Structure 1
Amino acid sequence: MGPLRVGLAGMGTVGQGVLDILERQAALVARRAGRPIVVTRVASRRRRDDVDIGAATFSLNPLELVAADDVDVVVELMGGTDTALDLIASAIAAGRPVVTANKAVMARHGNDLLATAQAGGVPVLFEASVAGAIPIIGSLRHGLAANAVTSVAGIINGTSNFILSAMTAGADFSAALAEAQRLGYAEADPTFDVEGIDAAHKLTILAALAFEMPFAFAAVHCEGITRITPEDLRSAARLGYAIKHLGIARQTPAGVELRVHPTLIPKEHMMAHVNGVMNAVLVRGDAAGDTLYCGPGAGSLPTASAVVADLIELARGGVPVHTRSEPVPAVLPIAACSSAYYLRIPSLDRPGVFARLATLLGEHAISIASVEQRGEEVHAVEGRAWVPVAIITDRVQEHVMDAALAALAALPDVVGAIVRMRVEEFTHD
């Protein structure tokens, strides 16, 4: 059998990683794929004389890869959405298999792309679009194929996890972000990472595969990490929790929850100890139970490793099947989702305040699981002393908590903005 001939679009860090692996591990890749995998063409929107592309032909027009007679598969690693979408759609229309790491394109346009690919029998593989070197998509498609998956939850953005890990160690947000940028973990404009958009793209893909539902990026509730303070991290730690930025997809009798947000998780849970740029994904299946996947979530070689794994699967003749459940499950609005909550309430330092807070929560049918009131941590506002009261509640629907917070904010005892974060014990589905 002849080699699998690759047309590579994109010469950034991941593209360079793919070139490196395919050259350095050529014999191993050929053995596992059953035939050699060679890059015959490389395309990029700008020339990179510092990148060795070997004997491959170079072009400034990625769309030329689609019509080239020496390309069997198009590998899209350009990033962005417009040109990348055009390339992927054109390749599918031409019957050319596609491997991509582009989570934004798949999350936003995956429904149309995969429908066209399915109709034409064109393989589209996107393992590298989620969680870097962790083979989570392959696990959902193959290893857990006999399971009805009820939930997928995890740390799926390495930049946010690096920043929160640094803040837990004592850095403030600005310093942690600057260090992430210095090390190349964060872009000059970190918005997609720190505001949760990147994680929402990845969660969209995971939920679509786990629950056999359409890609539903617009329905994902998304919050970032920019409002987390060192005070919250310390308070959570004293209550027995770590704060992580999680993506959570969960099937409930009422519908599917899709949410990305900062989350308190118990210190004893394995995911609480996943730090730095590492990613971790916890999958709950009806037969396998809980399985945890952990590994590097970003970087040149981890992501390139996933791209090459897709190429090996394609070379072996593997063609992914994209199925859909019927009826399509509804996505719940965040107001209908249930969670336990962490509240940090700036309250006047005087007798009876906590009793009034607890009474008001009780009037909204919200039970308190634990509380911390540090009398030694006294602050002042307009000449009045106040202390932070930290509360962990039992599970309640979001709209109930919204109403309770509005009532709490109206109390004369409450002298500032109330911090609210969700708590995940990983015991409910």
Structure 2
Amino acid sequence: MEHKIALIGFGGVGQTVIELLIQKEQTLHRLGHTFVVVSICDLYKGSIHDENGLDLFKINELVKSNDSLDSYPTTTKLIRGWSSKETIMNTNADTIIEMTFTNTSTGQPAIDHCLTAFKKQKNVVMTNKGPVALEYKRLYNEAQANRVKWYFEGAVMSGTPALRLPEATLVANTISEISGILNGTCNFILMRMEEGISLSEALKEAQQLGYAEADPTNDIEGYDVLYKLLILANVLLDVPLKREDVQVKSLTTISEEDMKIAKQKNAKWKYIGSIKHLPTGTKATVQPELLSMSDPLSAVSGAMNAITYDCDISGPITLVGAGAGKPETAYAVLIDLITLNQEIGGDRNVHSNRI
């Protein structure tokens, strides 16, 4: 079945999605999936649309030569210059892939992009955390009301299936706690601090390696983990957690003396996001925690992510994988597209709590 898609935002992840569609074309066809890109819209690279499908090889060539989409060859069906909203409203795509630069405090412009797509009865696949964390219930209801799908696997642990795994394979379990290392930058910094360097030196090294942004506030102050916790709570636990419900402590509260104490106790500091069901209610925290060596999260090193689901039947299940990166996030987009295609083709609702 041919599935038409439109990319809104065409940065590194979007470009890698195109590469994956080229590289995996035969594999996808063998699995019964044919994805046709009909629209690409980017604030800086330009906007093109062809209802019959764009030439992915030509687009890939333009990207690698650092050229804009304005250099894409003109054809009889080609339309240039649509804004993101115009693209969503006018494209003949079945699914919008939303990958714009979004303000995590407001969730915009991605929230408006989702709402516009839903009203036009288009599915949405996205990688942005903000909209899911801030407006999960509203967007869920809008998608459901318009009988479309909304997927966002890449918003928590990139290509590591932190949402799909528990939804698909831990069904019938009651999950009493979710805890995890949900920020690779912080995990890398703590690893280097264990090896004897200061937090500021470790942060500088993380920036040089590309793990941390020039402004690392979202990482070391816990905002990145906070938003991922909100998604996990709303999607997996059906707990309408808000920002103000989560206690957040900065990574900077960890000192070199704390590191020495951890070594004496044969334990490790990890920056943990945690949601627990307690008799008094739900407790959610983002903070440095001292873990015993028996905790599987203590063994996770470098920029890797990990998450543990405490299940009443299965017991604790820990998933370890990359939490960021262009190929990994592009893979999350691809697996969402494949799942969406399977559900549309088979009229199945595999992920019952995500429409």
1:356-400 Cα shifts (integer Å, max 9, x gaps)? xxxxxxxxxxxxxxxxxxxxxxxxxxxxxxxxxxxxxxxxxxxxx
| SS of residue in 1 equivalent to 2:332 | helix
Q: Which amino acid aligns with 1:75?
A: I
Superposition deviation, residue 57 in structure 1: 6.8
Counterpart in 2 of 1:321?
352
Superposition deviation, residue 200 in structure 1: 0.6
Counterpart in 2 of 1:72?
94
Structure 1 contact 110–215 (Cα < 8 Å) conserved = no
Superposition deviation, residue 210 in structure 1: 2.4
For 2:148, which of 116, 122, 126 is the aligned residue? 122
Q: Distance in 1 between matches of 2:82 and 2:299?
A: 44
Give 1 or 2: higher helix fraction: 2
1:169-227 Cα shifts (integer Å, max 9, x gaps)? 22211111112112221111111111000101001111122212224233111122022
Counterpart in 2 of 1:408?
none
Aligned pairs (5 A) from 1:110-259: 110-259=136-285
1:76-127 Cα shifts (integer Å, max 9, x gaps)? 1113132112111111122110001111121011121112112222211011
Counterpart in 2 of 1:38?
36
Q: Which amino acid aligns with 1:5?
A: K
Q: Distance in 2 between matches of 1:149 and 1:266?
A: 22
Q: Which amino acid aligns with 1:199?
A: V
Q: Distance in 1 between matches of 2:354 and 2:94?
A: 25
Q: Distance in 1 between matches of 2:160 and 2:243?
A: 22
Q: Distance in 1 between matches of 2:7 and 2:39?
A: 6
Superposition deviation, residue 51 in structure 1: 5.0
Q: Distance in 1 between matches of 2:228 and 2:166?
A: 14
Q: Distance in 1 between matches of 2:247 and 2:44?
A: 36
| SS of residue in 2 equivalent to 1:79 | coil
Aligned pairs (5 A) from 1:289-304: 289-304=315-330
Q: Distance in 1 between matches of 2:295 and 2:352?
A: 34
CA 1:36–1:108 in 2, change beyond 3 Å: closer, same or farther? Answer: same
Aligned pairs (5 A) from 1:81-92: 81-92=107-118
1:107-159 Cα shifts (integer Å, max 9, x gaps)? 01112111211222221101110011211101122111111111110000111
Q: Which amino acid aligns with 2:9?
A: G
CA 1:321–1:79 in 2, change beyond 3 Å: closer, same or farther? Answer: farther
Structure 2 contact 221–249 (Cα < 8 Å) conserved = yes
Counterpart in 1 of 2:18?
19
Q: What residue ranges of structure 2 are gaps of 5+ in the alignment?
A: 47-61
| SS of residue in 1 equivalent to 2:109 | helix
For 1:63, which of 63, 85, 89 is the aligned residue? 85
Counterpart in 2 of 1:375?
none
Q: Distance in 2 between matches of 1:215 and 1:79?
A: 24
* Identity value in percent: 32
Superposition deviation, residue 39 in structure 1: 2.0
RMSD, matched Cα: 2.1
Aligned residues: 322
Counterpart in 2 of 1:50?
63
Q: What residue ranges of structure 1 are gaps of 5+ in the alignment?
A: 325-429
Q: Distance in 1 between matches of 2:132 and 2:240?
A: 11
Q: Distance in 2 between matches of 1:176 and 1:119?
A: 48
Which aligned segments of 4 or more residues in structure 1 are displaced greater than 6 angstroms? Answer: 52-58
| SS of residue in 1 equivalent to 2:253 | coil
1:102 aligns with 2:128: yes
1:294-333 Cα shifts (integer Å, max 9, x gaps)? 0011110111111110010011125543379xxxxxxxxx
CA 1:4–1:15 in 2, change beyond 3 Å: closer, same or farther? Answer: same
Superposition deviation, residue 58 in structure 1: 6.3
| SS of residue in 1 equivalent to 2:40 | strand
Q: Distance in 2 between matches of 1:110 and 1:295?
A: 25
CA 1:30–1:143 in 2, change beyond 3 Å: closer, same or farther? Answer: same
Structure 2 contact 150–354 (Cα < 8 Å) conserved = no
- Give TM-score scaled by structure 2 length: 0.85
Counterpart in 2 of 1:279?
305
| SS of residue in 2 equivalent to 1:50 | helix
Larger Rg: 1
CA 1:294–1:323 in 2, change beyond 3 Å: closer, same or farther? Answer: closer
| SS of residue in 1 equivalent to 2:352 | coil
CA 1:66–1:51 in 2, change beyond 3 Å: closer, same or farther? Answer: farther
Aligned pairs (5 A) from 1:374-393: none
1:21-65 Cα shifts (integer Å, max 9, x gaps)? 111111223333x22113221111111753587889765622223
Superposition deviation, residue 251 in structure 1: 0.9
Q: Distance in 1 between matches of 2:146 and 2:98?
A: 19
Structure 1 contact 114–322 (Cα < 8 Å) conserved = no
| SS of residue in 1 equivalent to 2:251 | coil
Superposition deviation, residue 69 in structure 1: 3.8
- Give TM-score scaled by structure 1 length: 0.71
Counterpart in 1 of 2:54?
none
Counterpart in 2 of 1:373?
none
Q: Which amino acid aligns with 1:63?
A: K
| SS of residue in 2 equivalent to 1:226 | helix
